[in-house]
Amino acid sequence: MDVHQAEFIKSAVKPKDYPETALPEVAFVGRSNVGKSSLINVLVNRKSLVRTSSTPGRTQLINFFDVNGRLVLVDLPGYGYAKAPPELRKQWQPMIETYLAKRENLRAVVLILDIRRIPADGDLDMLRWLETYGIPPIIVLTKCDKLSKNEQARQAGVIAAAIGRRREDLLPFSALSKAGREGIWRVITELAGLESVTT
């Protein structure tokens, strides 16, 4: 995707607050501190469209971003952050599930996993939830620059076995080198029903 325009639309909590648009949407979800904000920023060629933070759990609302006037990327709150107040954690789950269940123009969900970590219960629950509702997952392995090529291959195999997927279905990504950006965009544009545009 040749991104020439990317801008924040609005934040929302409930369906009545979602932007009124018929554009296809692709949402991003993952455990806190998995590199979700950095991934979105690299995809849209912006340094700070989505705020990054060393403090996990900073995304507390559903944030919508317009790309080229043709696609909406949706940043969902990270899950699994134990230090967040219990009341806040209780709000996040129904907020995420309501969006995923009710948003009719949602085309796919990018499920982000840290390549260095074994998928946790929250990751497995999210994958099962997406499968139950027929939402195609795009599984991205972030922080690949932290491992050697051999370690990446080994970890990808371990993660694929843990989630019951083929290793070829997992998309490696590095925010540092931007490696994997084009491959992720190819899958997003295909599932969103947009013609693939070279980067």
| Domains, the chain, ordered by start | 6-15+22-191 (3.40.50.300)
Q: Which residue has the higher pLDDT, 125 or 110?
A: 110
Question: Which residues neighbour 8 within 8 Å (Cβ) at sequence distance 6 or greater?
Answer: 49, 63, 64, 65
Structure tokens given for 4: 């020439």
More confident position, 157 or 94: 157
Beta-bridged to residue 137, according to DSSP, are 109
What does the pLDDT read at residue 75?
Answer: 94
Question: What mean pLDDT comes out for the span 113-140?
Answer: 94
Q: Is the predicted pLDDT of residue 173 greater than 80, yes or no? A: yes
Q: Look up residue 146 and give its amino acid.
A: K
